[in-house]
Amino acid sequence: MLRCPECSAEIDVDEDEVEEGEILSCPECETELEVSQTHPVALNPISDDDEDEEEDEVEEEDDEDFDEDGDMPEEEDDEEEDEDDEDE
């Protein structure tokens, strides 16, 4: 009987029939687990690092909209409108 390395739940799998690289799912915490070796069977959680990196990249792109002080830079169009209002 195999156990989930994340939550220690039992995973009902025939240890003789799993293959290295096979992906299993924990029935309790739903973590995806990769069979990293077969004798003895070792399971490693598949991390979400790729997804985290993508989210970080999106956040960094959003930060480009702000100046170094973290303020929204004024758009040139707004400044031109302000100048037009002062002329009136």
SS3 28: coil
Domain with 39 in it: 2-45
SS3 42: strand
Cis amide bond preceding 40, omega within 30: yes
Give the rounded percent of residues in the chain with a pLDDT score beyond 90: 44
Q: What is the pLDDT of residue 45?
A: 94
Domain tally, the chain: 2
| Judgement on whether residues 27 and 57 belong to the same structural domain of the protein | no
For range 7-31, the mean pLDDT: 93
Q: Is-above-0.75 flag for pTM?
A: no
| Judgement on whether residues 17 and 35 belong to the same structural domain of the protein | yes
Give the rounded percent of residues in the chain with a pLDDT score beyond 70: 53
For range 42-54, the mean pLDDT: 70
| Judgement on whether residues 8 and 36 belong to the same structural domain of the protein | yes
| Judgement on whether residues 63 and 38 belong to the same structural domain of the protein | no
CATH number assigned to the domain comprising residue 41 = 2.20.28.160
| Judgement on whether residues 11 and 38 belong to the same structural domain of the protein | yes
Q: What is the pLDDT of residues 68-81, one digit of tens each?
A: 666 666 665 555 55
DSSP state for residue 46 in the 8-state scheme: P
With the C-alpha atoms ordered 65, 68, 74, 75, is the resulting torsion angle positive or negative? Answer: negative
Half-sphere exposure of 39 (CA within 13 A, CB side): 1
Distance CA 53, CA 51 (A): 5
